[in-house]
Structure 1
Amino acid sequence: MKPELLNEAAVQQALIALPGWQVEGRELTKEFQFASYLAGIEFVRQVARLAEEMNHHPDLLVRWRKVSVRLTTHSAGGLTKLDVELAGKIAAL
């Protein structure tokens, strides 16, 4: 059974608890900045561990001292509770 898509009101409500996150199309996105390249890589390692635990994997783009995170539930065609939950866990790192 695929996860249920969130409606616009639920997405907007979720964003209140996720400072800095925004919706771009069907994705929840945020760019994180770090003091060094290796700090960004460590962040990616921690995100990867969370993703594996949830079996829900974000798209990650690593640049010099920046990491972009993009979340969506491909099987549902947009944002679901899984995306909001993982965004919250990533924000807590």
Structure 2
Amino acid sequence: MAELLTDDQIDLALRDLIPLWKAVDKTLVRTVERETFLDGIRLVATVAQLAEATGHHPDIDIRYKKITFRVTSHDSGGITEDDLVLAHHIDTAAG
């Protein structure tokens, strides 16, 4: 089980992720909008492959052209270093 980050560590990490990500209820949250529905599905497929490769998976909500990623370490009960790494991978995939 990964170690939870402190509020100060999360605030510091968000400086690199803001304005794209927010911390909400022990979860990192980002919404991405694509040109078309299929572009959004392609992004989801890319993120799914990254998640499988790292063994850490986001919650994904697809609403037509808007995809919301929620990243948290469920087994640890909050945000860990693994979540920050995954958030950066999602940023790279989203461009």
What is the TM-score of this pair, normalised by structure 1? 0.96
The aligned amino acid for 1:81 is: E
State the SS of the aligned residue for 1:29: strand
Matches within 5 A, 1:18-57: 18-19=17-18, 20-57=20-57
Structure 1: segments with no counterpart, 5+ residues: none
Measure, in 2, the Cα distance between the counterparts of 1:9 and 1:26. Answer: 13
State the 4+ residue runs in structure 1 displaced beyond 3 angstroms.
none
Aligned residues: 92
Supply the RMSD in Å over aligned alpha carbons.
0.6
Identity %: 36
After superposition, what is the alpha-carbon deviation per residue over 1:10-49, rounded to whole angstroms, capped at 9, x for unaligned?
A: 1011111113100111100000000000000000000000
Q: Once the 2 structures are TM-superposed, how far is the Cα of residue 89 of structure 1 from its aligned partner?
A: 0.8
Kindly indicate which of the two structures has a greater share of residues assigned to helix.
Answer: 2
